[in-house]
Structure 1
């Protein structure tokens, strides 16, 4: 963390991902990143810190490109620049790559983060959405990716930076478990979220992250 002034420390977060991280909705004419809600919640709760969040999401990007872009990000910044890394991706791979390859890329991004950030890394589960209802292979592949990612986070050596898994199904962000009314509220196009959905995503990340922030002095 950097000292902003004599009384405030700056906690820097890098949120890395695809269109979900960017906050895509309304066919890409508008954006509402989940990090806006995350920052609001963190700032309201922890006034002794200033939260500086860099949100870098690219529409349509696969985990292969995400991994390469994250490498470039860290190569081009003075290390350690960030205190925290959040990874969210995988939706764009589901129709074309084996689960093992998708999960390997996501785990590699967390591992890369462990080399470059100081405090914590968060891996967010690949969101469940409409294609999981119509394509059994799509859902099965996503189930496998999320399990591998969860197990990786659980079993990796627990030392700074700490590692955390955000399971969106435990935070009421599961398309398969929602009523039609809830789907209309939370989803924009049945894949991307509405602003309400992105706010719920930010809240889900906050609920897992706050235990880490609480421990900071």
Structure 2
């Protein structure tokens, strides 16, 4: 179906809606400073999307899909709503029930950003089980047409062969799943914000306790996620349908 949007000159702009659920564990909740502070990446993400999709400059052109940087003449405003639901310490195997409770009409979401699995790795759960539980949890929103942005599981301060191998298997499985499903995109957090390859100063700036991020770390996640989503929307306009 082709949608026709009035030009800005008419004074009536068709609004598009982004209703995003950020879902996961403590890394979604924004846990830092030993739980004394919570700084979810979603706050920075919202600012990135507002700045990228709703330009304060009415003369700035957006492309035909409402993303800045294009050459289209139609400027489309977006309604952006972000809900953060992270539970510290929760395993993926316990998330399906929580997702069912959250994902009930009329509170449905256009997109879900998912980050979880660190706790499961710490409990030495098999990588196959972690992947199965992630897919079961996300089958709920996917069945309604919701688009999913998967984040890979990041490094941590601890190093062990079994841990690194299991994490790699899960992350590769997530990438393969995203590659096979047009409703799923991937954001490789593991590669974007490493731990062991950073300088000491960068580790201190971005990582809190070797497992969680600092406030600056969560802000960086939000910034990188915003850039990724804006890029997807520009490359794949149908990803918000």
Q: Deviations over 1:13-53 (max 9, x none)?
A: 01100000000001111100001111000000101112100
Runs of at least 5 residues in structure 1 that lack an aligned partner in the other structure: 1-5
1:170 offset after TM fit, Å? 3.6
Contact 1:110 1:123 in 2 (8 A): no
Contact 1:11 1:52 in 2 (8 A): yes
Structure 2 equivalent of residue 101 of structure 1: 129
1:175 offset after TM fit, Å? 0.6
1:117 offset after TM fit, Å? 4.5
TM-score normalised per structure 1? 0.87
Q: Give the Cα separation in 2 of the matches to 1:67 and 1:207.
A: 28
Q: Give the Cα separation in 1 of the matches to 2:93 and 2:229.
A: 26
> Is the helix fraction higher in 1 or 2?
1
Secondary structure in structure 2 of the residue aligned to 1:38: helix
Q: Give the Cα separation in 2 of the matches to 1:123 and 1:67.
A: 16
Matched pairs, number = 202
Contact 1:82 1:117 in 2 (8 A): no
Structure 1 equivalent of residue 215 of structure 2: 195
Do residues 110 (structure 1) and 135 (structure 2) align? no
Instruction: Output the aligned Cα RMSD.
Output: 1.8
Q: Give the Cα separation in 1 of the matches to 2:33 and 2:144.
A: 35
Do residues 122 (structure 1) and 129 (structure 2) align? no
Aligned equivalent of 2:172, options 147, 158, 178 = 147
Aligned equivalent of 1:178, options 184, 198, 212 = 198
Do residues 63 (structure 1) and 92 (structure 2) align? yes
Do residues 165 (structure 1) and 172 (structure 2) align? no
Structure 2 equivalent of residue 3 of structure 1: none
